[in-house]
Amino acid sequence: MIELPKIILASASPRRVEILTSVGWPFEKLPADIDESEIAGEGPEDYVTRLAREKALAVASIRPNEIVLGADTTVVVDGEILGKPVDVEDAKRMLRTLSGRSHFVLTGVAAAFNGKVESALEKTRVDFVPMNEDEITFLAERGEPLDKAGAYAVQAQAALFIKGIEGDYWNVVGLPIGLVYRLVMSSSVARGREVRSSSNQN
């Protein structure tokens, strides 16, 4: 029988909370407070992986005997990182960039336990149909995009303009839950937890 271990989610993302809840994964939310600035010369894949690791380790430092999950998601177009828009006009700019083009959604995930951390990366391609200015305004002014990388939510109005997705859909929502499962259950983080649990019982 599979038993999902309780994790500490080092994130305030409502989407990640919803995904973990939907699969019945026991968790506690404890958002990490870290500097999310990019480092000069850092590529998008390294950026999201580093932030995921830093989030996990930041929370693990105060909850060392529990599995801590960190995650960070960003949208990349031709090497340019599109984070969360600062306002509606910034959201419109991002949506114009995505219109009629393919882009990638990258999520770094990291699991930390007792001073150790392991990480992995999920990459999903998303294709948008061309959008006119009215459609871009419709998306930007609904309030939907302001807390989301790339200024859209695949599970909401933006779905009207998505031509196709290649890869993990849940990654685009905000958490590649299959990758999280494999990372937590097969990593040294999980094995270390099992060893510790066994020693505590002796």
Which position among 35, 46, 72, 134 bears the catalytic label? Answer: 72
Name the amino acid, one letter, at 68: V
3-state secondary structure 39-98: CCCCCHHHHHHHHHHHHHHHHHCCCCCCEEEEEEEEEEECCEEECCCCCHHHHHHHHHHH
Q: CA angle, 69 as apex, 62 and 22 as ends, to 5°?
A: 130
The length of the chain in residues reads: 202
Name the amino acid, one letter, at 156: A
Residue 78 among the catalytic residues: no
Q: Tokens 């995650």 identify what position?
A: 71
How many Cα atoms sit within 13 Å of 139 on the Cβ side? 30
Active site residues: 72
